[in-house]
Amino acid sequence: YTPTRFANGDVINEAGTNEGSCKLFYFAKLHGLTPAQTLALFGDYYWKDVLENPEANSHANIRSFMRHGWAGIAYDGEALQKLDE
């Protein structure tokens, strides 16, 4: 893992911030996951915190990804590298 700046719609994440989201989105992209599969990887942050509180402002990266999907994700470099199988 390399801390990497990334944009998620209108949410800008500087390198070293929101590293869980950085890793998760990059992993999902590397493995060709759908937006629904990607959101499921967030577990209770998505299922409980976000879906059960649609008007809240928490978990900006999840909420932005729900609006913009993969079209909103852009990295300034490679956060993860796939290992040879």
17-75 per-position pLDDT tens digit: 999 999 999 999 999 999 999 999 999 999 999 999 999 999 999 999 999 999 999 99
Length of the chain: 85
Model-level pTM? 0.93
Q: Which stretch of 4-8, 53-57, 81-85 has the lowest confidence by average pLDDT?
A: 81-85
Task: Using pLDDT thresholds of 50, 70 and 90, give the confidence band for residue 84.
Answer: confident
Domains and CATH numbers, the chain: 6-75 (3.20.160.10)
Give the C-alpha separation, 30 to 17, whole Å. 20
Please give the radius of gyration of the chain, using alpha carbons only, rounded to the nearest integer.
13
